[in-house]
Structure 1
Amino acid sequence: MSTQLTKITTNKAAAPLGHYAQAILCHDILYLSLQLGITPENPDLPPGDISRQTTQVLDNVSEILLAGNSDLSQTIKVNIYLSDIKHWEIVDKVYRQRLGNHTPARSVIPCSKLHRGYDVGLEVTALQRSVGA
């Protein structure tokens, strides 16, 4: 049995910083690579504060999901990587505002600073919307 893997790409989210896809679609499930709050129009901007980083990373994730025929309401699992757990309250506030009543499974993983000095990154798994939905 052959499994079809489809690479999902959009220029409305930050371009990959290495040899990986923004997302892969397999059996109606989207697997997003770790996303940072990099602004696609100006990727050399400094990261900014944690609220701005969280807003931008959610914007990037949303655009990649849209490119894969999905959206934040279809997320089933989110891993949040934080450089310092002290950022948690702000990240959670921005996250709650964006996802509303939708509460996918979620993990928070403390780590060192992320690539290019970012403090928050999201790795997302989501369902693709049904055709015609």
Structure 2
Amino acid sequence: MDDRIELIQSPEMPPPGGHYSAATAFGDLVFVSGQLPVLADGTHDPTAPFDDQARRAVGNLLAVLRAAGSSPERVLKVTAYVAGIDHWPAFNRVFAELFGDARPARAIVPVPPLHHGYLVEVEAIATR
């Protein structure tokens, strides 16, 4: 087994805004950093409706998974940080829409507003 940690970045989104990678991979495991609903050009719109933010954040997660050679069907665990548990039903609906038949283990953690005032952030562990 190759013992190097691979740094993953998706060409579909801007590079991370801090000292971290969009994802790392070790062998067949992929660890996706928390993805905010940042737009592809790097701009921010924390005033967007929650559904739009959730769709963008999960879309960013899926873009990073593709860049790592993975897919929704290969996701083992997702953690979603949602500002206010009242957004849980909307997040669940968007997540089901974008993940289709894939049903990874998942936790939703209620939190205060996130960086830039966003309402949702998602991270995942997957295989490839």
TM-score by length of 2: 0.93
For residue 124 of structure 1, report the CA deviation from its aligned partner: 0.6
How many pairs align? 128
For residue 2 of structure 1, report the CA deviation from its aligned partner: 7.3
Q: Secondary structure of 2:34's partner?
A: coil
> Counterparts of 1:50 and 1:15 in 2: how far apart (Å)?
23
- Distance of aligned partners of 1:62 and 1:2 in 2 relative to their CA distance in 1, 3 Å threshold: closer
Q: Which has more strand, going by share of residues?
A: 2
- Distance of aligned partners of 1:47 and 1:75 in 2 relative to their CA distance in 1, 3 Å threshold: farther
> Counterparts of 2:14 and 2:91 in 1: how far apart (Å)?
19
- Distance of aligned partners of 1:100 and 1:2 in 2 relative to their CA distance in 1, 3 Å threshold: closer
For residue 22 of structure 1, report the CA deviation from its aligned partner: 0.1
For residue 5 of structure 1, report the CA deviation from its aligned partner: 0.0
Counterpart code for 2:78? V
For residue 110 of structure 1, report the CA deviation from its aligned partner: 1.0
**Paired position in structure 2 for 1:24:** 24
- Distance of aligned partners of 1:30 and 1:21 in 2 relative to their CA distance in 1, 3 Å threshold: same
**Paired position in structure 2 for 1:100:** 100
> Counterparts of 1:35 and 1:14 in 2: how far apart (Å)?
11
**Paired position in structure 2 for 1:72:** 72
**Paired position in structure 1 for 2:119:** 119
TM-score by length of 1: 0.89
> Counterparts of 1:79 and 1:3 in 2: how far apart (Å)?
26
Q: Which runs of 5+ in 2 are unaligned?
A: none
Contact 2:44 / 2:116 at 8 angstroms: preserved in 1? no
**Paired position in structure 1 for 2:45:** 45
Counterpart code for 2:10? T
Aligned residues with identical type, % of pairs: 28
> Counterparts of 2:62 and 2:47 in 1: how far apart (Å)?
19
> Counterparts of 2:108 and 2:14 in 1: how far apart (Å)?
22
Deviations 1:68-97 (A, max 9, x none): 111111100000101100000111001011
Deviations 1:91-111 (A, max 9, x none): 100101111221100011111
Question: Root-mean-square deviation (CA), in Å?
Answer: 1.6
